[in-house]
Each structure stands twice: as C-alpha cells, then as structure tokens.
Amino acid sequence: MPIQQFVSSISESKLTQGVLYAALFVGVYKLTIFSLSTIALISDLFILPSTDLKKYGAKGGKTWAVVTGASDGIGKEYAFQLASRGFNIVLISRTQSKLEAIGEELASKFGVETKIIAFDASVDEEANYETISKSIAELPVTVLINNVGQSHSIPVPFLETNDKELRDIITINNTATLKITQAVTPRILETVKESKKKYRGLILTMGSFGGLLPTPYLATYSGSKAFLQAWSAALAGELKPEGIDVELIVSYLVTSAMSKIRRSSATIPTPKQFVKSVLGSVGRRGGAQERFATSTPFWAHALMHFAIENSVGTFSSIANKLNFSMHKSIRIRALKKIEKNKKQL
C-alpha cells in the first residue's frame, strides 16, 4: 500500500495526516542514521585494515613520540608499541629508576633513542613544563600520548573525598595534561612545517567511561575525564588545519595498577591488547560514532559504548542509577576488605 493511501486510511484530517508524515520522516531519518552508524561501527572494528602510522613518521627512525605516565601499564605499553613502529621515545613519569630501565629496554629491543623526564605530575610547577620544552627543543616530535592520570583509591561520595585526592585528580588529569600539551604541541607544529607536511602530528589523550557516563562515587574523576572530552574535541578543531590530528580515547576497564584489576576478560583487555586497538584504529571512531575527534577502539568497549548511546543514553537517569548501584557496591566491598586487612595486622 502506498504511503499516501496508508496515511489517508488512518485519518482524513489534514492536521493528523501532517503529523503522521512528519513522524514517518523522523522515523526514516533516525533509522537511516542508526543503520549508517552501525555499518561504520562494524567496519571500524572488524573490517578495515590497521591504520598505517607512516603519516606520523613511523618506521623512519627519525621522529619522536612523547609518552606521559610511561612507567607502568598503558603508558609503558604505548612506549613499547610506538618504539616497535620505529618512533624514538620521550618517557615522562614520576619514577626515574623505572624510566631508566624502560629506556634501556626500548633501546636494546628496538634500536631506538630515548629521553627521560622524571617529575611528579601532581605538583603543578612551571619548571616541570619548561624542562619538557627544553628537552624536546631540537627533536622532530610528531606524536604526544597524554596518558598520565589518576582516579580515586576506592569509590567515594563526593562530600567525603579528601582534599589531597580531589586536588591530585584535577591537577594530574587536567592541569598537567593541558600544560604538557602546551609544552609539546609547538614542537609538533614545527616538525610538521619543517617536513613540508610530509608528516602529520598526532595527539592522543586518554579518556574513560567515567567521563562518558556521569559516575556517582567517582564524581571528581568523572568530571575530570568529561572535561578532557570537551577540551580534546575543541583542540581537534583548532589543530586539524595545522596538520595535527587530535583524538580522545575512551576506554572501559583495562588491567592496570589504577584499575586494580589483574585478570583480563572479554571486556577487560590487557594494556597490550588495548594499545594495539588504539594504534591500529587512529582516525576511526569505533563505538564513539556520535562524537567528533573521539574513539572507543577496543571492540568490547566499542559495542558497550554504542549500545548505551543508542538505548538509554549516556546522560539518562537509568544509566546514572545503574552506575550509582554498581559503584556503591564496589565501595562496600572495598571498605570490608580494608577492615579485614586492618584486623590481620
């Protein structure tokens, strides 16, 4: 039955018919957008080949990548996988001895050059950022990985968050990330210009499901990561015409010291699995189909992100309540464990 006949059969009122036509148009539009997003999601995750990082200077042995939070977990893995692609590495983290060991291993295993910059990101001192600028002043830097970050020790109500933890989260996740980006990006711009646009620049910043979904009991951390989403997308708009690609990388849990999870699963990858998914899909959105300059690259995280966004929504009361219940439960278990450990002392 033609659409016109179908609508006419329901009502002879012109007003009602107009409403029905509008509803059909919106429905077709929504279905089309959803279908195209689903196709793009599947293509990004399972069909398209890995991104070739040569456009950022990989395999040449001449370009440098700066990696923050590089002494453990995801940051350390970024350093290893970028070095395996031929990037020389600037390692930034707090512990000098760990950085020295990693630097020696990278040089021995991949034949790359390394530089080490050790400082505590929770201490917001201008001298730290000046040291970065001076250390990379003569290096052809094309890549910055903003991986340094901190969460709460355990889920905690905002009003009970101690002052040091609150300040450290904001300083490390936001202030230090922005200031490091200000210190490194001018050198990336110079490298792109000096190469006569042979290379592009790349800035990847670690986001989180905690920033994707407002997360009760992790309110400060959640807010800090949501800030990075808006900042990173805005920066992407500014720097794209200058030859620098900027992406926020969204992840669910990964086995790491920060997550306190040791065993991997289908939804919780190892740092190696996660970083491989990030570097293999630069420029694609994965599960973040609705967000500019954002990627949710690991397949399980991507499907979770896409499902939440296209069902209850990331800012819905349902998602908020579920997050509240989950993190309240985690807090209760964590407090019981702390009490048990106290009794054993």
* Binding residue ranges for substrate: 208
Which residue in 325, 300, 304 sits closest to 314, CA to CA? Answer: 304
- Residue tagged active-site, from 78, 199, 221, 252: 221
DSSP states along 146-194: E------SS---GGG--HHHHHHHHIIIIIIHHHHHHHHHHHHHHHHHH
The Cα–Cα gap between 145 and 163 comes to 28
Is 217 catalytic? The answer is no
Q: Name 308's Cβ contacts closer than 8 Å, sequence gap at least 6.
A: 213, 314, 319
The Cα–Cα gap between 81 and 145 comes to 12
Residues of the binding site: 208
| Residue 244 phi, psi dihedral angles, 5° rounding | -120, 125
In one-letter notation, the amino acid at residue 39 is I
Which residue in 130, 162, 128 sits closest to 148, CA to CA? Answer: 128
Residue 178, Cα to own-chain centre: how many angstroms? Answer: 14
The Cα–Cα gap between 251 and 265 comes to 14
In one-letter notation, the amino acid at residue 250 is V
Active site residues: 221
